[in-house]
Chains A and B, each alone.
Chain A
Amino acid sequence: MNYAVVLAPNFALQALRRSEAALANKPFAIVEGEGRNARVTEASEHAIGVEPGLAVTLAMSRCPGLLIRPRDPNAESEVMRVLLAAAFTLAPRVELTAEGCCTVNLQGADPIQTEKQMHACVAELARAGVGARLGAGANPLLAAYAARCAEPVLLVSNPAAFLAPLPLSFAEPSSVHADVLRGWGIKTLGQLTTLPKTEIGERLGTEGAQLWERAAGETIRVLRLIEPVRTFAADWVYEPPVESLEPLLFRMRRFAERVALELRGAGRVADNLALTLQLEDDTDHHREFRLPEPGANVDGWMRVLQAHLDTVKTEARVTGVRLVATPARPPERQDGLFDTALRDPVAFWENLARLAAIVGDDRVGTPVLLDTWQPDAVALTKPVNAVPAPEDDSIHPPRGLTFRRFRPAWPADVAIVDARPHAVEAVELHGIVRVARGPFHLSSTWWKSGAAWALEIWHVELASGATYQLSRTADGWCVEGVLD
């Protein structure tokens, strides 16, 4: 038992379920591919009749109410970090072998103690919301096979007997070799190893011989070890953004569990937590908490975090969260009774959020013209770091009068004679129209109910000599600006 493998079966499925509370006890499947090529890759145990490889439409026909999700790379990376943290609790030499799988070099470890630790590791992972299987064997391959068969822990002592009934897919043949072997009727590793290795090599080449060795559990390799983490942080996004506390806390706990596990793996605790809520309006809400008592206990952390979040009201929905734990040696003494006051750092974005609270969210940012024919349609975007280069001069220099827009436009009464404006009456403007040019028509967004717009625009010269732009919408007339 030189090696152990920590494996999270149905990795993508577990990752998704761990990050999305709504999926608990629901039939759901992970889908890859687009359109008609969309296929189920993993399905939850509640998705009756749905198997990997099934077309999505067929899956939906077999399991009404089936929820379809794509893979979630963030959730998967999180589970991977949990697995690694758990693996480091077994031994310090750990390899990130594949998605949902890491291999631990146990050489020199006490077998009895290790088996106990493996069971503890499974329990730790279960608490962190990850169902894992652990296997151990003489080499990494055997350990990996054992992990795939473990319920939840399996130590291989008789490799030949263990390997014989395993399906051929365990040895991961290439698709061509899988086809050939299927044609030969080879379904198990044992069946393959009963064929002479040389004959296999002659027919399937070097790759075939290697496959045979994998089937015999004979492959030896050196682990590509990774370094344990030195920063203890988690950040995640909400798609769609959340506006209530429940989903926020659900995922926060998941991430906190991983960070705590990493701290424990490194023999550390946290004495300070920093929480940043990223909001939909591109602002952040940031707080730091000095923990009443340094520790790696998730329940304790969550109590502190929830107590704060219960009192917070953000102006926008939460799109992402960052949680950073400052590592410390485990405490040797109790902090002072009154040493719990929160520090209150001031951040630029918090100020911006305060500004937004005063003037309104829609009035903070950099204005950018929208790609539409609608006049004066702008959106406010987050300020950019670099000022863009000025555009090239127009082929045709501007001619005629310059238009100065009134913001807001002035509501007006316009008298019409012979379908043309005859007189204008607004709060700050009134007069008889001497010349009227128009109408100019603009309209669009007809495809959105309630958002369609149509403008009738006139350029009118009043008796005073000044020229104004009038526009008529379904709501009536207004003076939009002056041409001068």
Chain B
Amino acid sequence: MAYVELHARSAFSFLRGGSDPESLGRAAAQVGLPAFALCDRGGVYGSVRLHMTAREAGFRALVGCELPMEDETIVPVLIATQAGYRRLCDLLTTAHLRAAKGEGRVRWHELAADNAGLIALTGDEEGPVRRAWRCRGAKAADEAGSKLREIFGPERLYVEIQRHHLADEEEENDFLIDWARAQHLPLLATNGVTHAEPRARQVLDVFTCMREHTTLDGAGRRLARNAERHVKSEAAMNVLFADVPEAVAHTGELAGRLEFTLDQLGYRFPDFAVPENHTQDSYLAEMTIFGGHQRYGSVTGKVKDQLQRELALIAKLGFSGYFLIVWGLCNYARQRGILVQGRGSAANSAVCYALGITAVDPIGGKLLFERFLSEGRSDWPDIDLDLPSGDAREDVIQEVYRRYGRRGAAMTANVISMRGKSTMREVGKAFGLPNDVLDRFSSLFHHGDYPQTIKIKQQVRGAGYSGDDRQLDLLLATCRQVYALPRHLGQHSGGMVLSAGGLSQFVPLENASMPGRSVLQWDKSDCEDMKMIKIDLLGLGMMAVLSEAVEICERRGQPVDYARIPRDDAKCFEMAQAADTIGVFQIESRAQMATLPRMKPATFYDLAIEVALIRPGPIQGDAVNPYLERRAGKQPVTYPDERARPILERTLGVVLFQEQILRVAMELGGFTASEADELRRAIGFTRSTERLDRMKLKLREALLRNRVTPEATESIITSLASFALYGFPESHAISFALIAYSSLWLKAHQPAVFLAALINNQPMGFYSVATLVQDARRHGVKVLPPCVQVSEARTRVDDDRTIRLGIGSIKGVRAASVDAMLAARNARPFVSVEDFLRRTSFSAKERRALAGAGALNALAGHRRAALWQVETQAANDELFRFAVAEDATPPAPLEPMTLVERVRADYTHLELTTGAHPMKLIRDQLNDVWPAEELKQCANGQRVTIAGAVTCRQRPGTASGVVFVTLEDETGTANAIIWPKLFEQARLVINLEPALMITGKLQNESGVIHVVAEHVEPLPNLSIPVQSSHDYH
């Protein structure tokens, strides 16, 4: 057998490899290697990517790993059998789970205890033998090698030799060759690959600097000596090892012994524990029919047909256990009073609806079941569960761990890769750029990955880079090479993987940085490629709000059931049409609010369209304006092909949903269900566009073959491309619309409850609490300040139009102190500040915060008096706390705060004010500035000036560099459009000033008002408290 590279590290060795596994695989295929082994440091992070590349390129991807040992040596092992793979995963899991992130090391006795199925190499310069030879001489090297020989035996240990065209490497190789011959061990030639091509050595050098916290100039001999550690052909290796040809020959022989590839992973989803006399299938059918009766009233006709069709397919594909497990988790959540709702394509399934996993009736909504499950589908269906964010979601996650064990379940990884700003920072540091230049680059260029309107060279120059142009070219070329390579592993927001027989046999697990969580070494695409099932347990702040709102309404004797609220509530749609949606799920963003008056949603389904419409997919696919124009009757409804009419009728001939693309592919392109599924997967694959490009080509050919006109074909292909940019499936949009509608209904009919629940579940949503409170005030909700005599820990509803802020909303006050205070108050109300101080355990800082926020006003009279009294000796000295209270407290010699002082104190301690908006206090100093509410009276094209606190800055990737800024004043919010040229002139002012004054021409399109900025300036020196803003998300 020909030469096989058996020791390679990818960038998934995190700063120890300069190319991704795909590049290594492509390079291996290009030089004609029949197999290639990836041995990443401490894991199998990149193995799936190599496996998938190998599958396409036609070579065998072998699995290996560099084991980090307890004595800091590195032992490369290759996997010969499935049992060996499982042993490796177990070894690595044990090492990683007992150590801090990135510190996991294998103990020698663990490796010695069980290593069947593993074949070891003596390693490179970090290996035990060469390291011993270099540091302690030949005898020590012999001892280290003998230890390995003892552990693996002569059949499973190879003496690794490498040649990188270095004059001084032969002395070491001579020793290795002699030692191997003396020990009767086979020699094995490897190139110790760390990068795919010679030029990627530059990446490796930069990574070395990042690892060593130094610069390229300072790294000296820690950098690579040359660029020889790239993927080499058999011919090149034969020349290098002409004197020891057996070393090359052994690579092929050894590769032949490595039977294991990831095709033999053997992953299996766990079974659900069903009652006796039941199979997984029969139990699922029984529970589905039972649920169907509850959901639909009776299971007959269409409903029965659909459920039976789905159950038959689920059973045929062997997915019954999966549905039962998800159902079990939903039941667990409900038993604990946790709101749960399935979303994603599961909403297309009547079985999911019957089981209570989803809340959308797919039969009534005519949703496409094939989007969820089809006979041709090769992977597992996708069920995402939305849960209230925070403790409730963590409760469900921990329940999964409890049910399946620490080694039976884990979160999927999220590969954190080098993005625009981080790439420039890291590469810049390695190039020795001064910190202030890098800081300025970061400050100037918020979120570097959005399309920039000025060239990167100008950006770097603008940040103060003063090197010459050629040097800058080098820097940027290196950035391009480093860009998108993995930096470290995080955890996915909610994806959990389970397995039968212990997940740690299939992939190594590690500790996540979050306590109580573990993470596996593959991301969601890897898991999907390995057909591992992921259940997404996603936290939604709005679910927590809805959940809390139900509790509040229940307590107030006004129970709310979201399943039963009318779907045609006039007030809801009136508010939606007026873009009165601050705080409402999904449709509160600036872009959504700018569309609502044009869209004028009048039905629940309109809301689903609204949710799906303002997404990068439809925006990029040019679907938004045609849809709105057609809806307004300004444009005729047309179809790309008459055969598409039934599919696109609901969306007026415009492709808005993923399902529509799939059905178009099936109906017009003649795609089979499995081809449609392939298309669905290509749309969802975000790592590269290759898969999608292939499918585009296939669909284009299919459409043209089926006599679809070239123009219509192109329009369909454009829509398809845009869905790769986060287009929504219809079922997903409907699931989200359910939450959006519920929150809109609360805002319309229970505004006080809605506001209280929103405040209690921060941080979440698009707006700060200060903005939510100001909006609620404009809707007639009275917000009362926190008060130690009447407030609870959380914000509560006093009556239909009044809420009382909780003591917990005061910044810097600990929950335990608040609980202790509430217990003391329950025992006996406080009669004076002294009494309060004596019977509570707040720290000096907390007492000041309480007094400053006005929470002690009921006892002290006013804030200043409270501030005076909380500083008394009784408050400060433990001895005095048990003294008898004096009858009368002498009055405080301080004047009450002025209005301006109170507003400022509110922002300091609450980050909001329950009183007037700060802009109201300075309104009379702002000549010629229009209040936001009055802008609708202005004529189109009129030059106006607006001013206020910045609540939002956005620069959507779809808007060609245009920046949208939202300013809030006492009357509402005003939006400004800033063209790229002005933005570049005033970038720092726009990005950094907390309050702005913007002059420009007013633009009123169908009630959507914008000011097209001509001049932007800060609004300084007017003492507007700084408010948090939603920037560039």
A interface residues with partner B (beta carbon < 8 Å): 34-36, 38, 49, 55-58, 60-62, 68, 179-180, 183-185, 194-196, 199, 202-205, 370-373, 395-396, 399, 438-444, 446-450, 454, 457, 459
Contacts and interface: CB of A to CB of B under 8 A. Distances in A.
Nearest to A452: B474
Nearest to A445: B216
A449 B893 contact: no
9 contacts: A57-B992, A68-B436, A203-B868, A203-B873, A373-B223, A439-B165, A444-B225, A448-B474, A450-B470
B269 interface: no
Contacts of A61: 986-989, 991-993, 1018
Given A57-B443, A204-B871, A373-B221, A448 B471 contact: yes
B221 A372 contact: yes
A441 B226 contact: yes
Contacts of B166: 440-442
Contacts of B473: 449
Interface in B974-1013: 986-989, 991-993
A467 to B, nearest CB: 12
A205 B875 CA distance: 12
B694 interface: no
Nearest to B438: A35
Given A49-B1018, A439-B165, 13 more contacts: A36-B439, A58-B993, A61-B988, A61-B989, A62-B989, A179-B848, A183-B864, A199-B893, A203-B876, A395-B137, A440-B166, A441-B165, A441-B227
B135 A183 contact: no
A180 B137 contact: no
Given A61-B988, A183-B851, A183-B852, A442 B1018 contact: no
Interface in B407-463: 430-431, 435-436, 439-440, 443-444
Contact of B871 (A180, A196, A399): A180
Contact of A443 (B135, B226, B872): B226
Contact of A440 (B136, B165, B848): B165
B181 interface: no
Contacts of A443: 225-227
B992 A372 contact: no
Contacts of A56: 436
Contacts of B164: 441
Contacts of B474: 446-449
Nearest to B442: A36
B1018 A62 contact: yes
Contact of B167 (A60, A184, A372, A457): A457
A370 B220 CA distance: 8
Nearest to A177: B871
A30 B521 CA distance: 48
Main secondary structure, interface of B, reads: helix
B894 A185 contact: yes
Contacts of A439: 165
Given A396-B137, A441-B228, A185 B895 contact: yes
A280 B202 CA distance: 33
Contacts, number: 125
Which A-B residue pairs are the 6 nearest by beta carbons?
A61-B988, A371-B220, A449-B470, A203-B871, A441-B226, A57-B443
Given A183-B864, A195-B893, A399 B992 contact: no
A421 B638 CA distance: 74
A185 B136 CA distance: 73
Contacts of B897: 185
B864 A185 contact: yes
Contacts of A395: 134-137
B848 A180 contact: yes
B468 interface: yes
Interface in B216-249: 216, 220-221, 223, 225-228
B167 A440 contact: yes
Interface in B891-939: 893-895, 897, 901, 905
A449 B471 contact: yes
Contacts of B136: 395
A399 B226 CA distance: 24
B867 interface: yes
Tell me which of A34, A68, A183, A373 has the highest count of chain B C-beta atoms within 10 A of its own C-beta.
A183
Contacts of A442: 166, 225-226
Given A58-B993, A183-B864, A440-B166, A203 B872 contact: yes
Nearest to A400: B171
Contacts of B220: 370-372
Nearest to A36: B439
A366 to B, nearest CB: 19
A457 B166 CA distance: 9
A204 B660 CA distance: 71
Contacts of A440: 165-167
A370 to B, nearest CB: 8
Contacts of B988: 57-58, 60-61
B261 interface: no
B435 A34 contact: yes
B794 to A, nearest CB: 26
Contacts of B216: 447
A388 B461 CA distance: 45
Nearest to B868: A184
Nearest to B209: A447
Contacts of A57: 439-440, 443-444, 988, 992
B781 to A, nearest CB: 29
Contacts of A60: 440, 988
Contacts of B595: none
Nearest to B852: A183
Tell me which of A205, A399, A443, A459 has the highest count of chain B C-beta atoms within 10 A of its own C-beta.
A443
Interface string B462-504: 0000001011011100100000000000000000000000000
B867 A183 contact: yes
A371 B986 CA distance: 45
B872 A202 contact: yes
A49 B225 contact: no
Contacts of A203: 868, 871-873, 876
Contacts of A449: 468, 470-471, 473-474
Contacts of A370: 220
B153 interface: no
Interface string B167-210: 10001000000000000000000000000000000100100000
Contacts of B205: 446-447
Tell me which of B216, B852, B901, B992 has the highest count of chain A C-beta atoms within 10 A of its own C-beta.
B992
A325 B802 CA distance: 81
B1020 interface: yes
B226 A447 contact: no
B632 to A, nearest CB: 41
Contacts of A195: 893
B894 A184 contact: yes
A446 B202 contact: yes
Nearest to A375: B167
A192 to B, nearest CB: 11
Contact of A49 (B135, B444, B987, B1020): B1020
Contacts of B165: 438-441
Nearest to A58: B992
B333 to A, nearest CB: 41
A34 B987 CA distance: 22
Contacts of A204: 871
B982 to A, nearest CB: 14
A184 B435 contact: no
A180 B992 contact: no
A58 B227 CA distance: 44
B171 A396 contact: yes
A184 B867 contact: yes
Contacts of B471: 448-449
Nearest to A195: B893
A395 B141 CA distance: 12
Tell me which of A38, A49, A441, A454 has the highest count of chain B C-beta atoms within 10 A of its own C-beta.
A441
B851 A447 contact: no
B174 to A, nearest CB: 9
